[in-house]
Amino acid sequence: MAASLFVQGLINGLNQGAIYALIALGYTMVYGIIRMINFAHGDFIMIGAYTLFYTIPLMVNAGMPAWMAVIIAIVVCALVGVLVEILAYKPVRKAGSMSALITALAMSIFLENLAMVLFGAKPHNVQAIFQLPTVRVGSVSLPLNVLLTIAIGLLIMLGMQFFVKKTNLGKAMRAVPQDKDASTLVGINVDRIITLTFAIGSGLAAVAALMYCSTYPRVTNDMGSMMGMKAFIAAVLGGIGVIPGAMLGGILVGLIEIFVKLFAPGWYEAVTYGTLIVILLVKPSGILGKNLGEKV
């Protein structure tokens, strides 16, 4: 009994964790490149979820596969991310980190209120994208759509790691935060790489929205704040600015959440924040974080 409960928790925790990891990736990539916490990032998930809410029925009615809606959501989120960067963040980029922070907070509030005006305050139910059965193995029930989303999440994380390590654009994304002048000198268009980073980070939020909606098919205008907060904690826990750190932090926060809720409901927030505090005390830059005070 305890073993099956554990397996169940592990699967749900991985599912939750993969969602946080994908969101944390968005925080960490943007932080990595311009040293800014994009507090509106959580709200991109809400935008992704609303896009799914409206486009899944469209796809189904048009006789197209429902997963095509995810592509649309990725494109919409990437576009919103790029617009937010160009219209709101770029103009204050040279004005200091406090201005950037306040702009990001304002953007978050703006997006949530805009969503309330456009879509109303009552929750909407998102249609399922994958109609997969739940199989039972012993006393463990395995919803196949959850397994599928975990697989998608992990695959995307591996893909990101490959992209950043091996491709030309990925290398440019690593080079820009290390030295903007040197990046320009070797031929990197720094502004374009920053925009690309926002596009990718925001696009990942759409995938996170898909994963979230396959588990909790509810969309509200403020769903992004809570998830954004937890994913932000995940990013800091794993080491902000470090891609594998975001993945590890996300999975950890997801596992902690599910297991604590399973075995000691009510303690979940205390345990999450407690872990964060302990880890930051031991290693202020996060589990995989690099010490930023290196020699230049």
Q: Closer to another protein at the Cβ: 131 or 168?
A: 168
- Rounded to whole angstroms, the Cα distance separating 112 from 119 reads 10
- Rounded to whole angstroms, the Cα distance separating 260 from 9 reads 10
Q: Closer to another protein at the Cβ: 172 or 206?
A: 172
Residue for token digits 């959440």? 257
Mention every residue, 6+ apart, whose C-beta is less than 8 A from residue 14. 150, 251, 254, 255
Q: How far is the CB of 177 from another protein (least distance, A)?
A: 9
Q: Closer to another protein at the Cβ: 228 or 289?
A: 289
Q: How far is the CB of 172 from another protein (least distance, A)?
A: 7
Q: How far is the CB of 169 from another protein (least distance, A)?
A: 10
**Footprint of another protein on this chain (CB under 8 A)?**
168, 171-172, 174-175, 178-179, 181-182, 184-190, 290, 294-296
Q: What is the 3 state secondary structure string of 171-182?
A: HHHHHHHHCHHH
- Rounded to whole angstroms, the Cα distance separating 89 from 170 reads 22
Q: Closer to another protein at the Cβ: 147 or 190?
A: 190
Q: Closer to another protein at the Cβ: 23 or 30?
A: 30
Q: How far is the CB of 187 from another protein (least distance, A)?
A: 3
- Rounded to whole angstroms, the Cα distance separating 195 from 190 reads 9
| CB hemisphere CA count around 118 (13 angstroms) | 14
Take residue 49 and report the two structure tokens written for it: 């979820």
Q: How far is the CB of 69 from another protein (least distance, A)?
A: 37
CA dihedral 16, 154, 161, 230 (to 10 degrees): 0
